[in-house]
């Protein structure tokens, strides 16, 4: 078992714990399934809105977004929301599996298999997904109560009086909804790690989230901010190293291939495209993507030029190189995801130690007795055998 200090210093281990081929591969697999579902559903949303799929492909390639310049009615937004939910749930399930591997690693089991972790995650799917869904259902019930009060308030003469009578209870209900939204936010990203580390059911997971927020709010927020910084730092460093490796490889290949490789690279840059919209809620994400691409020396990922296909072999090489580019992008993002969920296991262990004086990384005495019989029994068995 890995010994912890049970303070903020342990959080910095997330960069090392997340830097694992097994965990990064698990994150890549989860992101691949999540993005595949997101892309398919978003393309369906555009098609349902009457948009041409060729136009969407030329604009966004594999990762489409709603486009303010194209028709996108309410049912298009509804389908797009389904795609976002699919992506979030897939990442949560993958995060639970990564957390399980990290938990076993911290306990000394370095050979815990990824397939076993995913089986564990699917076995506890109700806790991973059910925890936020239960909170959302409860919030909706409270909102429906507010709508009922609004309907009663529309009754002439009596309505305004009822609203005045229930004004104070309605205020506290609204305040409680704000609190539940805060809990929901933490449940979405801490919940998978709690389930992965402790195997809790839905209610136990929610209990731990409520307990951490109520008893250790400062540490929870501080550790979350620190983990957010470390996960982005890890992705940035791996992305920068990948960019340097790509430039080195391009330099070596150009020595003999010359213009042929440059044509392949131009085609791959044209096919590989991450076009984040520069409007609304996407503006910060767009600016971050442009900044990162400039740092990495890859401006073509958000503004590719026009490319004329020389011949079929160059086109096929460009397609394969673009696929390689997408795989590298998944790896870079996957490392950040691995750091995030691995670090959350440490965060949960520290918070539970602080509030309950319980080390979740230690094997309970009951399990030790099941694994290994008492000393006297072993001595008796040895004598009988002799």
Whole-number average pLDDT of the chain: 85
pLDDT band at 364 (very low <50, low <70, confident <90, very high): low
Report the pLDDT value the prediction gives residue 142, as an integer from 0 to 100.
94
**Location of structure tokens 């070596």:** 252
DSSP 140-191: HHHHHHHHHHHHHHTSTTHHHHHHHHTHHHHHHHHHHHHHHHHHHHHHHHHH
In the predicted model, is pLDDT for residue 379 greater than 60? Answer: no
- The alpha-carbon radius of gyration of the chain (Å, integer) is 26
The C-alpha atoms of residue 225 and residue 157 are separated, in whole angstroms, by 51
CA distances to 132, 348, 359, 371 from 107, in Å? 28, 14, 11, 15
In this predicted structure, the answer to whether residue 367 has a pLDDT above a threshold of 70 is no
Is the predicted pLDDT of residue 197 greater than 50, yes or no?
yes
Question: pLDDT at position 370, please?
Answer: 44
**380 pLDDT more than 70:** no
The per-residue pLDDT for range 17-66, each reduced to its tens digit, is 999 999 999 999 999 999 999 999 999 988 888 888 888 887 788 888 88
User: Within 61-166, where are the H helices?
Assistant: 74-106, 114-123, 125-153, 158-165
**37: DSSP letter:** H
- Per-residue pLDDT, averaged over 118-144, amounts to 93
Q: What is the mean pLDDT of residues 116-134?
A: 93
Question: What CA–CA distance (Å, rounded) separates 173 from 375?
Answer: 58
Mean pLDDT value of segment 249-259: 87
Of the pLDDT bands very low, low, confident and very high (cuts 50, 70, 90), residue 346 is very high
Q: Tell me if 17 sits within 8 A of 92, measured CB to CB.
A: no
Determine the length of the chain. Answer: 386
CB 302 within 8 A of CB 276: yes
**How far is the C-alpha of 129 from the C-alpha of 127, rounded, in Å?**
6
Q: Residue ranges of the domains in the chain?
A: 8-371
CA 251 to chain centre: 35
- Ranking 182-191, 257-266, 342-351 by mean pLDDT, the lowest is 257-266
Q: Residues of 35-72 as b/e, b for ≥16 C-beta within 10 angstroms?
A: bebbbebbbbbbeebebeeeebeebbbbebbbbeeeeb
Of residues 108 and 180, the one with the higher pLDDT is 180
Nearest to 358 by CA among 211, 192, 203: 211
Please tell me what DSSP assigns to residue 362: S
Would you say residue 156 has pLDDT above 70? yes
Per-residue pLDDT, 267: 83
Residue bearing tokens 């501080």: 222
For position 368, what pLDDT does the model report? Answer: 42
Q: pTM value? A: 0.85
Q: Is the pLDDT of residue 301 over 60?
A: no
- What is the token pair recorded at 292? 């990162």
Nearest to 234 by CA among 65, 11, 4: 11
pLDDT tens sequence across 74-99: 888 899 999 999 999 999 999 999 99
| Mean pLDDT across 316-337 | 91
Report the pLDDT averaged over residues 239-258.
88
């Amino acid at each position: 078992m890995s010994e912890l200090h049970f303070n903020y210093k342990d959080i910095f281990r997330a960069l090392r714990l997340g830097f694992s081929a097994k965990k990064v591969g698990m994150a890549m697999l989860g992101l691949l399934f999540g993005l595949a579902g997101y892309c398919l559903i978003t393309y369906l949303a555009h098609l349902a809105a009457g948009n041409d799929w060729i136009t969407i492909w030329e604009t966004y390639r594999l990762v489409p977004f709603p486009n303010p310049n194209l028709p996108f009615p309410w049912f298009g937004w509804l389908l797009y929301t389904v795609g976002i939910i699919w992506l979030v749930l897939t990442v949560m399930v993958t995060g639970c599996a990564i957390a399980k591997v990290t938990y076993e690693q911290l306990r000394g089991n370095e050979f815990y298999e990824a397939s076993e972790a995913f089986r564990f995650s699917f076995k506890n799917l109700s806790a991973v997904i059910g925890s936020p869904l239960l909170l959302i259902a409860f919030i909706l019930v409270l909102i429906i109560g507010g709508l009922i009060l609004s309907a009663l308030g529309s009754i002439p003469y009596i309505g305004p009086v009822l609203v005045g009578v229930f004004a104070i209870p309605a205020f506290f209900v609204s305040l409680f909804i704000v609190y539940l939204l805060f809990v929901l936010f933490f449940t979405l990203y801490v919940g998978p790690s709690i389930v992965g580390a402790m195997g809790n059911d839905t209610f136990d997971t929610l209990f731990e989230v409520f307990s951490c927020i109520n008893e250790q709010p400062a540490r929870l927020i501080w550790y979350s901010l620190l983990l957010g910084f470390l996960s982005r730092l890890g992705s940035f460093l791996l992305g920068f190293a990948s960019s340097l490796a790509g430039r080195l490889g391009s330099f070596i290949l150009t020595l003999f291939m010359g213009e042929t490789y440059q044509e392949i690279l131009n085609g791959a840059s044209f096919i590989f495209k991450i076009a984040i919209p520069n409007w609304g809620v996407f503006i910060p994400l767009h600016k971050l993507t442009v900044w990162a691409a400039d740092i990495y020396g890859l401006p073509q990922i958000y503004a590719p030029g026009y490319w004329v296909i020389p011949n079929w072999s160059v086109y096929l090489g460009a397609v394969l190189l673009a696929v390689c580019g997408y795989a590298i992008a998944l790896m870079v993002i996957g490392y950040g995801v691995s750091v995030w969920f691995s670090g959350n296991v440490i965060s949960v262990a520290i918070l539970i130690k602080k509030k309950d004086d319980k080390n979740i990384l230690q094997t309970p005495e009951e399990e030790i007795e099941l694994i290994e019989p008492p000393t006297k029994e072993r001595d008796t068995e040895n004598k009988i055998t002799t």
